[in-house]
């Protein structure tokens, strides 16, 4: 029997053969505290599909909510009588596994696999999880990144590489493929490769000519996508991962999103010489594989899984924080936070190249006209020992700041809720990453009882 491979949106794949059905990074609901739009019809489509074929496994690459859609997982658990198993990497940090268990998913139904280990799903299907190597195209020498993953799926009909939106550089790709060759034949039939990044740049940077930067970023990302496609050595490459639309009050920034259209990718692909792969648009086709021969079938997934824009802010949890703005209280809170901050966090911050300046506002900065001509309620510069040449101004709503430092929201989910100014305009990824550490330690329920 054949294997079908369907790509719905972002990194969401649906793979089915005669023995099993596996979803990869299913995402249908809003993500990133309601700032990324949902695919409302997609939820109904998948939940109805289990009447025909149960879902046996769900692979989750990492904790970001456009990959870890907890609402969908809970709905599926109620809808489907058969228990599905969740596949994740065996991370050194067990946050993803702990998060799943705290939300009612039993540990016996969570398969956490070491990187580069072949995990058999049955007698004909297997999966291999690949690690994160660096943070972006700019690797760090002092932060060990172990947050994201990619994967390989193999059965008798298909050999598939799914990079998800794991930020591999070309150097990383070569290393990963070299390691894979030690355990499997790395000749893939299909490869799903990210063609854009879920970045705040350029749409959230107010001191730039954003349209000019958008064009430059799109050109750079298409070039990298094509180079990555060649490096993987696969006959069919599919642009996937990192695609989204901003929702709610943030939708006004959609015009600056640096997400290439397929026709833009195809235009540069057609002009490129020595392309060693076919470029496939999965908004028009899904795949039927039989003994590594691929047939294309037409689909209507673009309509079913399209992003639906709303005006709702109900999914933004920090909006529920009660209390009016008090500069004195927030200044005391920040002083207390930094005084209690462990030394390793301060050392990491001093190793970054950029000083972070927090500009606090009484409402969402994206709603304030002529922001650069107005003054924030107050400004706080994060300083420890080392003086820095670069500055990153972060404009944020005071409730958002409270949500971050009290661990009510993850910085990774709300980066695009802020506006930024770089002086000078130099990218320092580790400074932005460091903001994940700017919070009080999380107290779990079990800890409170001790």
Burial pattern 251-285, b for ≥16 Cβ within 10 A else e, equals bebbebbbbbebeebeebbeeeeeeebebbebbeb
Closest to 13 in 3D by CA, of 246, 296, 265, 241: 241
The torsion region of residue 448 among left (phi > 0), alpha (psi -120 to 50) and beta comes to: alpha
- For 1-55, the pLDDT digits (tens) are 899 999 999 999 999 999 999 999 999 999 999 999 999 899 999 999 999 999 9
Predicted pLDDT of residue 143: 54
Architecture in CATH for domain 317-444: 2-Layer Sandwich (3.30)
Predicted pLDDT of residue 441: 86
Longest dimension (CA), the chain: 68
SS3 237: strand
Residues of the chain with CATH 3.60.15.10: 3-304
Predicted pLDDT of residue 380: 97
What is the Rg, in whole angstroms, of the alpha carbon atoms belonging to the chain? Answer: 22
User: Any idea of the CA torsion for 168, 171, 176, 181, to the nearest 10 degrees?
Assistant: 150
Architecture in CATH for domain 3-304: 4-Layer Sandwich (3.60)
Q: Where are the alpha helices (DSSP H) in 250-291?
A: 262-271
- For 330-344, the pLDDT digits (tens) are 999 999 999 999 999
SS3 per-residue string spanning 387-427:
CCCEEEEEEEEHHHHHHHHCCCCCHHHHHHHCEEEEECCCC
SS3 10: coil
Which regions of the chain are under pLDDT 70? Answer: 135-145, 442-450
The verdict on pTM exceeding 0.75 is: yes
Predicted pLDDT of residue 449: 35
Predicted pLDDT of residue 427: 87
Residues of the chain with CATH 3.30.1050: 317-444
With contact defined as beta carbons under 8 Å apart, do 376 and 359 qualify?
A: yes
């Amino acid at each position: 029997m054949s294997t079908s491979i369907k790509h719905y949106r972002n990194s969401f794949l649906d793979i089915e053969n005669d023995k099993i059905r596996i979803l990869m990074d299913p995402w249908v609901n809003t993500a990133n505290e309601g700032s990324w739009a949902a695919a409302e019809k997609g939820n109904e489509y998948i939940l109805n599909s289990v009447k025909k074929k149960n879902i046996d496994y769900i692979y989750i690459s990492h904790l970001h909510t456009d990959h870890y859609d907890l609402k969908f997982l809970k709905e599926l658990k109620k809808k489907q009588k058969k228990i599905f198993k969740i596949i994740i990497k065996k991370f050194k940090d067990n946050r993803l596994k702990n998060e799943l268990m705290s939300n009612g998913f039993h540990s016996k139904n969570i398969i956490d696999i070491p990187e580069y280990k072949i995990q058999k799903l049955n007698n004909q299907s297997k999966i291999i999880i690949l690690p994160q190597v660096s943070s972006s195209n700019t690797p760090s020498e002092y932060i060990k990144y172990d947050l994201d993953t990619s994967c390989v799926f193999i059965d008798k009909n298909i050999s598939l590489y799914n990079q998800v939106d794991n930020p591999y550089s070309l150097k990383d790709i070569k290393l990963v493929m070299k390691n894979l060759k030690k355990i499997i034949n790395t000749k893939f039939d299909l490869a799903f490769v990210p063609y854009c990044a879920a970045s705040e740049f350029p749409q959230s940077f107010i001191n730039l000519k954003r349209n000019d930067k958008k064009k430059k970023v799109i050109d750079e990302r298409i070039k990298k996508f094509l180079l990555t496609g060649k490096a993987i050595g696969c006959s069919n490459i599919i642009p996937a991962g990192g695609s989204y639309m901003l929702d709610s009050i943030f939708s006004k920034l959609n015009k600056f999103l640096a997400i290439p259209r397929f026709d833009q990718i195809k235009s540069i692909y057609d002009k490129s010489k020595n392309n060693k792969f076919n470029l496939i648009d999965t908004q028009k086709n899904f795949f039927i594989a039989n003994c590594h021969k691929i047939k294309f079938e037409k689909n209507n997934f673009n309509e079913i899984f399209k992003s639906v824009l709303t005006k709702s802010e109900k999914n933004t949890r920090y909006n529920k924080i009660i209390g009016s703005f008090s500069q004195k209280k927030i200044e005391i809170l920040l002083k207390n936070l930094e005084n209690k901050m462990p030394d390793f966090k301060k050392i990491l911050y001093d190793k970054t190249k950029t000083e972070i300046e927090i500009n606090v506002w009484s409402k969402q900065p994206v709603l304030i006209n002529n922001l650069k001509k107005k003054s924030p309620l107050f400004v706080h510069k994060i300083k420890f020992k080392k003086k820095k040449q670069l500055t990153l101004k972060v404009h944020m709503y005071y409730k958002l700041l409270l949500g971050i430092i009290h661990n009510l929201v993850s910085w990774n989910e709300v980066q695009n809720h802020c506006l930024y100014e770089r002086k000078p305009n130099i990218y320092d990824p580790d400074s932005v990453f460091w903001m994940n550490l700017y919070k009080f330690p999380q107290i779990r329920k079990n800890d409170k009882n001790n």
